[in-house]
Amino acid sequence: MIIDNHVSRAAGLRELSSASGLSRRGFLQAGAAAGGGLMLSLSLPFRNGEAEAADAFVPNAFIRIGSDEQIVLTMPYVEMGQGTYTSIPMLIAEELEVDLKQVRLEHAPPNEKLYANPLLGVQATGNSNAIRGAWQPLRQAGGAAKTMLVAAAAKKWNVDPASCHAQSGEVLHPPTVRRLKYGALAADAARMPIPENVVLKRPENFRLIGTPAKRLDTPAKVNGTAVYGIDVRPPGVKIATVAQSPVVGGRIRNVDDTAAKAVKGVSQIVRLDNAVAVVADHMGAAKKGLAALKIEWDDGPHAKLNTEEIARELDQGHPSFGRGGAEYR
């Protein structure tokens, strides 16, 4: 485990240094969302080769502001109890100038090009690098979106954008006491130029980052509506369970699936070289079907492998330690 950690950490640092020399221009891509809203996607190239080969950068997170006033943040990282579904929105909301209670969260669909972790190059969450990876680009995504919303309002009012400011999901023009909600500006904002540079807030001006917040994912976790991996139900999904060879390297000699096929709800028995799967309408039937299988295993070359045998082989493999010299037992 410790060795794995070092390897991935070193790889992460290499990716970080390769990403830091790239221009900001390529980080942001904007377009009109279905329904006439502003969609700002953010891209962070994760390998030098790909970044140079392709003109367009692939985005890894989305902000969606609908004309229906919905502010939807798509989460590229999985919430596993560490608060990611609150800390990642804080990064975006800080610069977008919205309150956490104004946002709705969606989980990113599987799409490595859009949602790869910039430090890992794959769509994965872990190794304590979600915030490290998202810290700069997601604040830039929020800041760029805010800049475009302010520009849209200023154009509508025919005033200097510098005389406007954004706050709690609205653009305000204090001299004339005018204000417009982000949703009302979304369609126009989608046509504003993408800012070349986004000036991020100074830490002393943070109003969300660094403050305590109620977790955004918990309401769904106390009423049963949270969707975990085991709860995903794509259309037409079947349920299966598997019996694997109890010995590494073992194979199936014979399977009698007569009784398993007769179990109500079982639809298919899938036989592989070293495993059998029972496919059913529900897990109750799948497990009952699995228990009804009569499987003869060929335990293969490791059939007689045991602890004593492993210890003997280690001794032989490391004669310099001498017997009892290595503390592996």
Partner 1 sequence: MAFAIKVNGNTHSVDVDGDTPLLWVLRDVLGMTGTKFGCGMALCGACTVHVNGEPTRSCITPIDSIGTSEITTIEAIDATAVGAKIQRAWLDREVVQCGYCQPGQIMSAAALLASNPHPTDADIDDAMSGNICRCGTYVRIREAIKQAASS
Q: Residues in the site for partner 1, rule: CB under 8 A?
A: 80-81, 214-215, 217-219, 221-228, 230-231, 233, 239, 263-265, 281-285, 287-288
> d(Cα 142, Cα 84) in Å, to the nearest integer?
17
**Minimal distance, residue 128 CB to partner 1, in Å:** 16
What's the closest the beta carbon of residue 224 comes to partner 1, in angstroms? Answer: 2
Report how far apart, in Å, the C-alpha atoms of 211 and of each of 87, 99, 146, 201, 204 are.
10, 13, 21, 15, 12
What is the smallest separation between the CB atom of 66 and partner 1, expressed in angstroms? Answer: 27
Pick 17 or 225: Cβ nearer partner 1 = 225
Q: Which is nearer to partner 1, 88 or 152 (CB)?
A: 88
For every residue of 106-131, DSSP letters joined together read: EEPPS-HHHH--TTTSSS---TT-HH
Nearer to partner 1, 239 or 311 (CB): 239
Minimum gap (Å) between residue 218 Cβ and partner 1 = 5
* Nearest approach, Cβ of residue 186 and partner 1 (Å): 31
Q: 244 and 270 in contact (C-beta within 8 Å)? A: no
Rounded distance between C-alpha atoms, residue 103 and residue 101, angstroms: 6
CA dist., res. 201 & res. 216, Å (int): 23
Q: For residues 6 and 214, which CB has a smaller minimum distance to partner 1 in the complex? A: 214
In sequence order, what are the residues at sequence separation of 6 or more whose Cβ sits closer than 8 angstroms to the Cβ of residue 240? 270, 277, 278, 279, 280, 286
- For residue 120, give every residue at least 6 positions away whose Cβ sits within 8 Å of its Cβ, in sequence order, or none: 8, 11, 12, 15, 46, 127, 129, 133
Query: Closest CB to partner 1 among 141 and 286?
Result: 286
Q: CB 266 → partner 1: shortest distance, Å?
A: 10
How far, in Å, CA of 198 to CA of 147, rounded? 8
> Based on CB atoms, which residue is closest to partner 1, 81 or 193?
81
